[in-house]
Structure 1
Amino acid sequence: MTHVLETKDLTINFGGHIAVNKVTVKIPEKKFTSIIGPNGAGKTTFFNLLSGQLSPSEGSIYFKGNEITRKSATDRTRLGIGRSFQITNVFPNLTVLENVRLAVQSQANVRYQMIKHFLHYKKFEQKAYTILERVLLDDKANHIAVNLAHGEKRKLEIAMLLALETEILLLDEPTAGMSLEEVPAIIDVIRQIKAEEDRTIVLIEHKMDMIMDLSDEVLVLFHGELIAKGTPEEIVENETVQSAYLGGMYDEQLA
């Protein structure tokens, strides 16, 4: 099995508090890996290390066998590592189509120039529209992004990552803040991306039914340490994982 992303003894501490502690993982290429753990387990901090928002105190990160530990978040995006956040990150005053078109142009390394005729950018617009179809947002193409529902903004953010042609999608709680009615739509989008089998997806999520449905492998963090990995079925039956979810969380999250 080919591994596209790898960490070795990845560690970060903040003023003596170790948020991620010697985590060594190998993320398989074009598979769906989920990361779970109780609140405060270090999941988002680990994502911030993978995407370059934070630099580790110790350890290394490798992408396709090449070390990227000290590369910036921008450099990692250019390499093919895309990251979504718990809070949506779009251009609120542009249309949905313009948001994605700008991402397409960025990937093509083409800046907008006022003196060029709009038809010069038509190919970028067509590609952007195709991507909106993939995330079930084409009917909102001409809507201003700020007016979208929360779940639609999350789909737009994923569309922008696809436009950047990222090989790895790091999705940090994509259903966070959504109403119950919005959740199935975003799950359908993620399921469709997985079915296309052309990208590696790494997900942080609390919804265990979503983890069970989509994941090929699950990693479990607890107090910043990797305590288990395996298939969703193996993780549910893992006694170490069960004991990590204290205060009845096992019954709610893993049963």
Structure 2
Amino acid sequence: MNSLETKNLTIKFGGHTAVDNVSFTVPEKEFKSIIGPNGAGKTTLFNLLSGQLKPTSGDVLLKGKNVTKYSPTKRTRLGIGRSFQITNVFPNLTVLENVRLAVQSKRGIRYLMHRHKDGFLDIKSEAYRLLELVMLTKKADYLAVNLAHGEKRKLEIAMLLALDTEILLLDEPTAGMSLEEVPAILDVIRTIKNQGDKTIVLIEHKMDMIMDLSDSIMVLFNGRLLADDHPSEIMKNEQVQSAYLGGLYDEHTA
């Protein structure tokens, strides 16, 4: 079964078509990466998938169900979790509290004034399990505002996992990171993939990371789908090379 699918997805802003008639599928538990030069429409496509934007035409389907008109909140409840290029955490709460609140939200449990938070032992245990997964247990009592950028990205992923999302949309998770921070987030994403219970769609510019993790790679160019294939086939695709890959390697190896 396909976890995620689009049919002729299009969005126009005035006279500009940012995503142009894009149709693709992501099979259940597959890892698909989306690449393309700046302005290709990658983040706009993510905004359409997660519900931040409504398409001019076309459809978004989740496990065969048309969710095109659904809000971001309703899509999250149905299993689509999305990270952003800019981290989206509660800065003045601790790392543990950020994840604990996400776990509570998923379970529909509201905070009760007369009940101490330690009473929710199973929730706290689940939060710690997720922090262990993203390698943040040692920072559980830190305020999120005091985390390094790469650590905030890991916390954001833990919060997405706490919502029990089946589909993770990761928008440039290494954006803004130092070279030293990248291996840690790469290990987290690889661990999630190896658990084998998530469908992951990744926007990223680091080709070594993409080639290492992806089951398939989709290439966008000027809002259009240029190619969608196995990584080895993408690397051999002359149209992709001329439109994008050569320039990418020049940009990131210079």
Say whether the fold is shared (TM-score over 0.5).
yes
How many residue pairs were aligned?
253
Give the AA of the match of 2:224. Answer: E
Deviations 1:70-118 (A, max 9, x none): 0000000000000000000000000000000000000000111211233
Q: The residue matched to 1:34 in structure 2 has which SS? A: strand
For structure 1, the 5+ residue unaligned runs are none
User: What is the CA distance between 1:253 and its match in structure 2?
Assistant: 5.9
The answer to whether the 8 A contact 2:170-2:200 is kept is yes
1:199-210 correspondence runs (5 A)? 199-210=198-209
Structure 1 partner of 2:86: 87
Give the AA of the match of 1:142. Answer: D
Structure 2 distance, partners of 1:137, 1:118, is 20
Query: In the superposition, relative to structure 1, how do residues 6 and 253 fare at CA in structure 2: closer, same or farther (>3 Å)?
Result: farther
1:1-255 correspondence runs (5 A)? 2-245=1-244, 248-252=247-251
Which stretch shows the higher mean deviation, 235-244 or 99-108?
235-244
Structure 2 distance, partners of 1:253, 1:72, is 37
Q: The residue matched to 2:227 in structure 1 has which SS? A: strand
For structure 2, the 5+ residue unaligned runs are none
Q: The residue matched to 1:97 in structure 2 has which SS? A: helix
Structure 2 distance, partners of 1:235, 1:23, is 18
Structure 1 distance, partners of 2:237, 2:246, is 17
Structure 2 distance, partners of 1:251, 1:191, is 26
Q: Percent identity?
A: 69
Deviations 1:161-189 (A, max 9, x none): 00000000000000000000000000000
Q: The residue matched to 2:32 in structure 1 has which SS? A: strand
User: What is the CA distance between 1:248 and its match in structure 2?
Assistant: 3.5
Runs of 4+ residues deviating >4 angstroms: 250-254
The answer to whether the 8 A contact 1:174-1:205 is kept is yes
Give the AA of the match of 2:219. Answer: V
Give the AA of the match of 1:16. Answer: G
Structure 2 distance, partners of 1:28, 1:233, is 19
Deviations 1:122-163 (A, max 9, x none): 211111001100011111101100000000000000000000
Which stretch shows the higher mean deviation, 48-57 or 110-119?
110-119
The answer to whether the 8 A contact 1:208-1:253 is kept is no
Structure 1 distance, partners of 2:117, 2:78, is 29
